[in-house]
Amino acid sequence: MINKKPKVGIFSLASCEGCIVQILNLEDQILDLLSKVDIVDFRVLKEEKEKAPLDIAFIEGCITSEKDVKKVKELRENSKILVALGECACTGGKFLVKDFKNHENPLQLKEALVNAQPLDQYVTVDYYLYGCPIDKNEFLELFKNLLIGKTPRPKSYNVCAECILHEKACLIEAGLPCLGPIIRGGCNAICPSVGKECIGCRGLAEDANIDSLIEIFQKHKIEVPSFLKHLQKLQKSEVERR
């Protein structure tokens, strides 16, 4: 169990701050939770006190500069638990598509740039909260677990596993290219539950069977997105490499 009044920081690197907005969307619940900890850094609340050492560092965003690398390494050194918040932090997210180092400096940034990278390319990450943005309730659950010293377990099921609990017709049956079968669950299948196909914002589930999903799409005469074929090739070459 963490100290009585744990020191917590919530930091942002290159991001749209959508994950931070999700935390703020918890409204009363987050105020209650924050009253139980000593928030030493949370820019949107204009909170900035002496940082180190921290019990928990939540980091949103992708590493895109040498300044970010330094900041993340310092946070790792000074934090007992480090959590990657959202796809940008967990996988690099959209920043991998527009890799700043390989383009002209479009934002006229003064700091030295590095290839866009997720946090774990530079430091050890203890927990990952996937999604773009994160699911606010999943954040709350993880935060509470960490405070009581319980080890959060990663979600090993896919979006379909949560979707079936909504007892709605499968979107694939209706001819929509839902990626639920191969995507990591944990969002309570929020998109299919309101009739929108899953576009995969939480990344591939463990043992994602891309071949099978392509076959299912073809059986339902759903056009197979080109990125799925690309992922299939990547998965095959990864299997051959092992």
Q: Shortest Cβ distance from residue 54 to ligand SF4 (Å)? A: 20
Does residue 160 interact with ligand SF4 by CB under 6 A?
yes
Burial class (CB in 10 A: 0-12, 13-18, 19+), 235: middle
CB nearer to ligand SF4: pick between 6 and 93: 93
**In angstroms, how far is CA 65 from the centroid of its own chain?**
20
Distance CA 239, CA 242 (A): 5
Does residue 132 interact with ligand SF4 by CB under 6 A?
yes
Of the candidates 8, 19, 63, 210, which one interacts with ligand SF4 according to CB under 6 A?
A: 19
Q: Shortest Cβ distance from residue 84 to ligand SF4 (Å)? A: 10
Does residue 133 interact with ligand SF4 by CB under 6 A?
yes
| Contact criterion met (CB below 8 Å) for 126 and 82 | yes
Of the candidates 30, 81, 190, 204, which one interacts with ligand SF4 according to CB under 6 A?
A: 190
> How many binding residues for ligand SF4 (CB under 6 A)?
35
Does residue 68 interact with ligand SF4 by CB under 6 A?
no
Buried b (16+ CB within 10 A) or exposed e, 192-213: beeeebbebbbbbbeebebeeb
Which candidate, 128, 13, 110, places its Cα nearest to that of 71?
Answer: 13
User: Which positions touch ligand SF4 (CB under 6 A)?
Assistant: 15-16, 18-19, 60-61, 86-88, 93-94, 131-133, 159-160, 163-164, 170-172, 178, 180-181, 183, 187, 189-192, 198-202
